[in-house]
A and B are shown apart, each in its own frame.
Chain A
Amino acid sequence: MRHLIDILDLSKQEIDELLATANDIIDHPADYAEVCHGKKLATLFFEPSTRTRLSFEAAMYELGGNVLGFSEASSSSASKGESVSDTIRVVSNYADIIAMRHPKEGAPMVASMKSSVPIINAGDGGHNHPTQTLTDLLTISREQDRLDHLTIGFCGDLKFGRTVHSLLCAMARYEKVKMIFIAPEELKIPDYLITEVLEPAGVEYVQTTDLESVIPELDILYMTRVQRERFFNEADYLRLKDSYILTPPKLAPAKSTMRVLHPLPRVNEIAVAVDEDPRACYFEQAKNGKYVRMALIMKLLGVTK
């Protein structure tokens, strides 16, 4: 039995297979409409989520399966003090697969140690969010037709952004990927990701504070939100916040084939006017999340079309 706790639980080959399945689902959805008939997905969301939970539920329904679960901890036994281990031991009697979001980092790993059915980590605090990474990989591969030989810019809060960390780890396994980290000094990429991931993998990388100077060389621009609460003082936040807002003039010098991704929700880091630009890809990215989750559910349940 397999679980997905960390994106690196999947080999490159397995990721390629998942993306191929997701692409086939997009092209031939009817072929997959009943493959999970009679199967149940439990969505255990101990903290709120919109996109992730709904895309999991939509994914299971589109595979012909059913969904049960809860969308916040207050409506579960966690509010009575039940441990993750006990909750999972019980729920794994009722469902064939579990997608779980929890505010505590490592909770899905604990669940996987106790569960009799596959566990999918749907986000654990600021730690991992592997299905977002699969979504990102599917989007990049569909838009650029490859995952290697790419220059990817990560912009915004690179210190705390779990989606950035996971995508960086996943992309470091592909050939000739160059990463450009665009962030204020206060929010730059943690050193350990450089020493423990990028350098051992021989990934070329650049760190800069200036988005406009590097945007022409990017194939992908992965935007994240710069949050006020991450700064030590208000003055620094006010000084820096506008530097990392993507506007049509800043986007103008980018390649026509470049794509802008964002894990969403967006606040103000991408101007609404950018949405009309053909390079804006974040809503397409959100759509892809459903398809790649369909492929993942199938893989972990061991079903085929």
Chain B
Amino acid sequence: MIIGQIENGIVLDHITAGRAMEIYDVLHLGELDCTVAIIKNAQSEKLGRKDILKVYDVIDLDMDILGYIDPGITVNIIQNGKVVERRHLELPVRVENVIRCKNPRCITSVEPGLKQVFKLTDRVRGVYRCIYCDTQAK
């Protein structure tokens, strides 16, 4: 098939080279019925190399997860073949069930049904900490 222009859909551009599959998995893109294109190691003036994900449908994206995994991503919303919106991500202040706390003394290691919640505590260094025990996410 030809990976061409999208009529209606989403392009995740400027993905750090090598991370497209991780994002594909985290966003559950494999569960979509529409066409999804994964482009790895594309040439980029800005990054040298980059990955790109093209989703041939407009879907709800969890921007918080995307922002946490790879805040440099640009999200382009395409309608009728034109970019109608371009979003630049930033680190979310809180992420749920994305990171697991590695602290064996944390209550999340034993308490059933507890959400794994991390908060951004240092935006400059991109530090996230467990809301329960304050352990830094690795």
CB within 8 Å for A109 and B131 given contacts A103-B105, A126-B105: yes
In chain B, what residue has the closest Cβ to A106? B132
Q: Which residues of A contact B107 (CB under 8 A)?
A: 84, 102, 104-107, 109-110, 124
CB within 8 Å for A196 and B121 given contacts A84-B111, A105-B133: yes
| Interface mask (B96-111 → A, CB under 8 Å = 1, otherwise 0) | 0000000101111111
User: Which stretch, B14-22, B67-75, B122-130, touches the partner chain A?
Assistant: B122-130
What number of residue pairs across chains A and B have CB atoms under 8 A from each other? 53
B106 adjacent to A105 (CB under 8 Å): yes
A104 adjacent to B131 (CB under 8 Å): no
Q: Which residues of A contact B134 (CB under 8 A)?
A: 105, 127
Q: Which residues of B contact A126 (CB under 8 A)?
A: 105
Among B106, B125, B131, the most chain A Cβ lie within 10 Å of the Cβ of: B106
In chain A, what residue has the closest Cβ to B101? A106
Interface residues of A in 100-148 (CB under 8 A from B): 102-107, 109-110, 124-127
| Interface mask (B2-39 → A, CB under 8 Å = 1, otherwise 0) | 00000000000000000000000000000000000000
A196 adjacent to B122 (CB under 8 Å): yes
Instruction: Tell me, in angstroms, the Cα distance from A83 to B113 when the chains sit together.
Output: 10
Interface size on A, residues (CB 8 A): 18
User: Which of B105, B108, B127 makes the CB contact (< 8 A) with A192?
Assistant: B127
Which applies to chain B's interface (DSSP): helix, strand, loop or mixed? loop
Interface size on B, residues (CB 8 A): 22
Q: Which residues of B contact A110 (CB under 8 A)?
A: 107, 111, 114, 132
A195 adjacent to B106 (CB under 8 Å): no
Instruction: Tell me, in angstroms, the Cα distance from A105 to B108 when the chains sit together.
Output: 9
Q: Which residues of A contact B114 (CB under 8 A)?
A: 110
Pick the 10 closest A-B CB pairs, nearest first.
A106-B132, A105-B133, A106-B107, A104-B107, A106-B133, A107-B107, A125-B105, A105-B105, A105-B106, A110-B107
Known contacts A109-B132, A195-B122; 14 additional CB pairs below 8 A are: A84-B111, A103-B105, A104-B111, A105-B103, A106-B106, A110-B107, A110-B114, A110-B132, A125-B105, A127-B133, A192-B127, A195-B125, A196-B122, A196-B127
Chain B positions near chain A (C-beta within 8 angstroms) = 103, 105-114, 121-122, 125, 127, 130-136
Chain A positions near chain B (C-beta within 8 angstroms) = 83-85, 102-107, 109-110, 124-127, 192, 195-196
